[in-house]
C-alpha cells in the first residue's frame, strides 16, 4: 500500500491522504516482459517464472460494454455495470470494472486510474481519471 495526496487543478480541492492497495502485474524473470495478472506463462518466451511487480495503476480504455450484474442489495435484481479492457501504461491489457459514468461520446482516449482490488472481485476497479496533480 502507499499513501497519496492529490490536488485537483480544476477545483483546487485537496483529497485527504488515503492508503490504497497497489495494482500488481507480472514480470517475466527471464526476459522482463510485463504481463497481465492472470497470465500463467510469458507470452514472449514461454517461461513460467513470473514475479509480481507494482503497476502505476493508470491506463487507457481500449473497449467497454455495459452488462447486468448482481446487486449487493438483494432487493434489486440486476444493476448495470461497466466492464472494460484497459491498456495499462506499462503495456499489458487487463479486464476491469469501471466505477462511475463514462463520457457518452469521448472526443479523445479515456484515461482511467486504479481504485481498488476487492477480495472476491474477479477484476480490479478503475475510474475515469480526473485532471489532478500530486501535492508534495
Q: Which residue has the higher pLDDT, 77 or 71?
A: 77
Q: Which helix (H) or strand (E) holds 69?
A: strand 58-70
Beta bridge partners of 14: 7
* Band of pLDDT at residue 63, cut at 50, 70 and 90: very high
Task: In whole angstroms, give the CA distance from residue 9 to residue 101.
Answer: 21
When the pLDDT of each residue in the chain is averaged and rounded to a whole number, the result is: 80
Residue 14 clears pLDDT 60, i.e. is over it: no
* Band of pLDDT at residue 116, cut at 50, 70 and 90: confident
* Band of pLDDT at residue 129, cut at 50, 70 and 90: confident
Task: In whole angstroms, give the CA distance from residue 104 to residue 51.
Answer: 38
Number of structural domains in the chain: 1
3-state DSSP call for residue 103? coil
Task: In whole angstroms, give the CA distance from residue 73 to residue 10.
Answer: 34
Domain that holds residue 8: 2-134
Q: List the single range of 39-43, 77-81, 85-89 with lowest mean pLDDT.
A: 77-81
Alpha carbons within 13 A on the beta-carbon side of 97: 16
Residue 118 clears pLDDT 50, i.e. is over it: yes
Beta-strand relationship, 18-20 and 2-4: antiparallel
Task: In whole angstroms, give the CA distance from residue 1 to residue 92.
Answer: 21
Confidence (pLDDT) at 20: 54
The CATH number assigned to the domain holding 88 equals 2.40.50.840
**Using the 8-state DSSP alphabet, how is residue 94 labeled?**
E
Confidence (pLDDT) at 11: 42
36: cell is 497481465
Amino acid at each position: 500500500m502507499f499513501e497519496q495526496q492529490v490536488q485537483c487543478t480544476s477545483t483546487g480541492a485537496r483529497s485527504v491522504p488515503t492508503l490504497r492497495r497497489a495494482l500488481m502485474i507480472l514480470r517475466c524473470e527471464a526476459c522482463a516482459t510485463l504481463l497481465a495478472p492472470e497470465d500463467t506463462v510469458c507470452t514472449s518466451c514461454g517461461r513460467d517464472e513470473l514475479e509480481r511487480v507494482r503497476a502505476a495503476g493508470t491506463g487507457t480504455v481500449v473497449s467497454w460494454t455495459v452488462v447486468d450484474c448482481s446487486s449487493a442489495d438483494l432487493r434489486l435484481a440486476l444493476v448495470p455495470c461497466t466492464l472494460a479492457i484497459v491498456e495499462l501504461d506499462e503495456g499489458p491489457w487487463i479486464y476491469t470494472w469501471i466505477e462511475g459514468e463514462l463520457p457518452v461520446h469521448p472526443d479523445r482516449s479515456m484515461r482511467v486510474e486504479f481504485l481498488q482490488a476487492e477480495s472476491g472481485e474477479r477484476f480490479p476497479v478503475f475510474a475515469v481519471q480526473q485532471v489532478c496533480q500530486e501535492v508534495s
